[in-house]
Amino acid sequence: MADPSSTPENAPADTIFGRILRGEIPCDPVHSDELCLAFRDVNPQAPVHVLVIPRKPLVNLAEATGADAPLLGHLLLVAAKVASAEGLGGWRTVINSGVEAGQTVFHLHVHVIGGRPLAWPPG
């Protein structure tokens, strides 16, 4: 179970990503398989900004368990595959977990960001 401080009390049981997965909201997909969907972010923060989301509705990493390890590994491998397919020589993956980290959609997602120099630290 997630740390109660990691998600807001009013977090919806369903999210925009759930609606995208069900086909209720269109997206610009770049990868789809039985475990996840990757699509272009509608508010990109770089020339390439793709979101990789699991089909399983995990709120964030705090809610993941050891049983989710294969899924989490798959998400990162898909992120690398997407980056390569987008022609990125270097990229950043970001997973926000909880309100304090800037998570706004409470369905686990991996940001794949690149196509320009990325500063550090990111926040």
Task: Tell me if 28 is assigned to some domain.
Answer: yes
Tens digits of per-residue pLDDT, 3-61?
333 444 444 458 999 999 999 999 999 999 999 999 999 999 999 999 999 999 999 99
pTM: 0.89
| CATH at 47 | 3.30.428.10
Scored b (16 or more CB within 10 A) or e, 94-115 reads ebbbbeeeebebbbbbbbbbbb
Q: How many domains does the chain have?
A: 1
Tokens matching residue 31: 């990868």
Nearest C-alpha neighbor of 34 from the set 65, 74, 87: 74
User: What does the alpha-carbon distance between residue 81 and residue 14 come to, in Å, rounded to a whole number?
Assistant: 28
Residues belonging to the active site: 109
Answer whether 22's CB lies under 8 Å from 35's CB: no
Task: Tell me if 9 is assigned to some domain.
Answer: yes
